[in-house]
Amino acid sequence: MFTSWLAALVLTTAQVQDSAAPADDATPDAAPQLQLQAAPAEDTDMVRTSARDYAAYHHTVSDLQEAPIGSAEDLDFAMDQLTRFYGEERLVRAWIAYAAIVAARHPEYIDEVRELADYYGPQAAISGLMNDPAFATSFGSAGDAQDSVISAIDQDNAEIVGLSERYRAAAYDLQSERWANRVYRDRQERLASISAIDDSPIDLPEDVRLSMDSGFAAGLPASALFEHGTSTPVDESLAPQLTLNVGRAARNPDRERIGRILSVAALQSLDGMTDTDAAIDYLLADPAVERCLAWVRLDLSQCVAAGHFKYEDSFCIAEHALLDVSRCLATETGGD
């Protein structure tokens, strides 16, 4: 298996976190001792806080499914609600964190991670996960966790794509509306609004936060948590149709991208054994997805700047603020 590779890695990677405690003094011939147990809630604050932003994003997407598209203000509102999530690392970290919570719902996978850490020491496990995120996919039970992550992300992306189709259709329908065909002189204001980066916490009602927490506990896709502010059960029979809607019936997972997500889940499980905050913080940043979303912001700004009519804003929302984002948040090779 991967144990011999990891043993070599431990010899060559002596310092991963200067402030971390030294590895346990377990000898290689000691019997592994499984210690699968729930980590204290306060130890997962970084992941849960980031994950709430992803759930909040899908709450916004859910609300926009039936939001009015009958005025310039309606289109401005939709654009602003979506783009508040697209600044800097916010949505990237949120996406990885939420998917990691889904992966952590597989105790067999977490059990193997903790067995490895018990045998070689937690620092050895952290070294392997940080130096090669794809290493997390080599565990025997990683396949089930990976499948759950891919299915959840597919379902979430299907919701984004569905909303994109709504605003794309509206772009054509609005061409017959007088207000949508009037030349608007608000391009600078629009560009300033969608370019503003606000990293302050997203304020949501208490019932919505409770829906998020119940969804975390159940390992649901974020898109299954809300139907205009209320939690809803997942209809598993919709999964094949949702996959086809996104256009990814044949999966070709990006091992490094999935591995990064599984690594965060694995590091969470080690949090009671050693300090994993620095490692988790490092893995919550995915440069490839960050670059992809940076292009989304640029393309959206260019689309808005080039438009003169409000129906064109509806197209910009559909194509860039939604469809391009779903492509960034994909799990397949070439998704970025």
User: Is pLDDT larger for residue 88 or for residue 312?
Assistant: 312
DSSP at 200? S
User: Is pLDDT larger for residue 199 or for residue 261?
Assistant: 261
Which residue is listed with tokens 């496990």? 125
Q: Rg of the Cα trace of the chain? A: 22
> What is the predicted pLDDT for the residue at 21?
41
| Gap between the Cα atoms of 313 and 246, Å rounded | 23
> What is the predicted pLDDT for the residue at 108?
95
8 Å CB contact between 148 and 103:
yes
Instruction: Give mean pLDDT, residues 137-165.
Output: 95
Q: Model-level pTM greater than 0.85?
A: no
> What is the predicted pLDDT for the residue at 32?
40
> What is the predicted pLDDT for the residue at 4?
44
| Gap between the Cα atoms of 262 and 281, Å rounded | 14
Contacts (Cβ under 8 Å, ≥6 apart) of 97: 46, 47, 48, 49, 50, 51, 54, 264, 284
> What is the predicted pLDDT for the residue at 308?
86
Instruction: Give mean pLDDT, residues 283-312.
Output: 93
pLDDT above 90: residue 161: yes
SS3 content of the chain, % helix, strand, coil (to 5): 65, 0, 30
Buried/exposed code over 94-103 (b: 16+ C-beta within 10 A; e: otherwise): bbbbbbbbbb
Confidence of residue 96 (pLDDT cuts 50, 70, 90): very high
105 residue type, one letter:
R
User: Is pLDDT larger for residue 23 or for residue 203?
Assistant: 203
| Gap between the Cα atoms of 321 and 312, Å rounded | 13
pLDDT digits (tens, 9 = 90+) for 54-73: 999 999 999 999 999 999 99
Range in 157-166, 192-201, 235-244 with the lowest mean pLDDT? 235-244
| Gap between the Cα atoms of 266 and 297, Å rounded | 32
8 Å CB contact between 311 and 171:
yes
Instruction: Give mean pLDDT, residues 193-214.
Output: 73
Average pLDDT, the chain: 79
94 residue type, one letter:
A
> What is the predicted pLDDT for the residue at 188?
87
> What is the predicted pLDDT for the residue at 193?
85
> What is the predicted pLDDT for the residue at 264?
96
Give ∠ CA 72-73-76 in degrees, rounded to 5: 90
Long-range CB contacts for residues 237-240, cutoff 8 Å, separation at least 24? 238/155, 239/151, 239/154, 239/155
pLDDT digits (tens, 9 = 90+) for 5-49: 444 444 334 333 343 344 444 444 444 443 334 433 443 478 988
> What is the predicted pLDDT for the residue at 211?
66
| Gap between the Cα atoms of 211 and 213, Å rounded | 5
Domain ranges of the chain: 39-328
Range in 215-219, 227-231, 237-241 with the lowest mean pLDDT? 237-241
Instruction: Give mean pLDDT, residues 181-192.
Output: 85
Confidence of residue 317 (pLDDT cuts 50, 70, 90): very high
Instruction: Give mean pLDDT, residues 172-197.
Output: 87
Of 80, 40, 320, 56, whose CA–CA distance to 212 is shortest?
56
Look at residue 332 and give its three-state secondary structure: strand
pLDDT above 80: residue 1: no
> What is the predicted pLDDT for the residue at 334?
54
pLDDT above 70: residue 114: yes
Judge residue 25's burial from the number of C-beta atoms within 10 Å of its C-beta, 0-12 exposed, 13-18 middle, 19 or more buried. exposed
| Gap between the Cα atoms of 105 and 108, Å rounded | 9
Contacts (Cβ under 8 Å, ≥6 apart) of 305: 187, 191
Structure tokens at 168: 């794309």
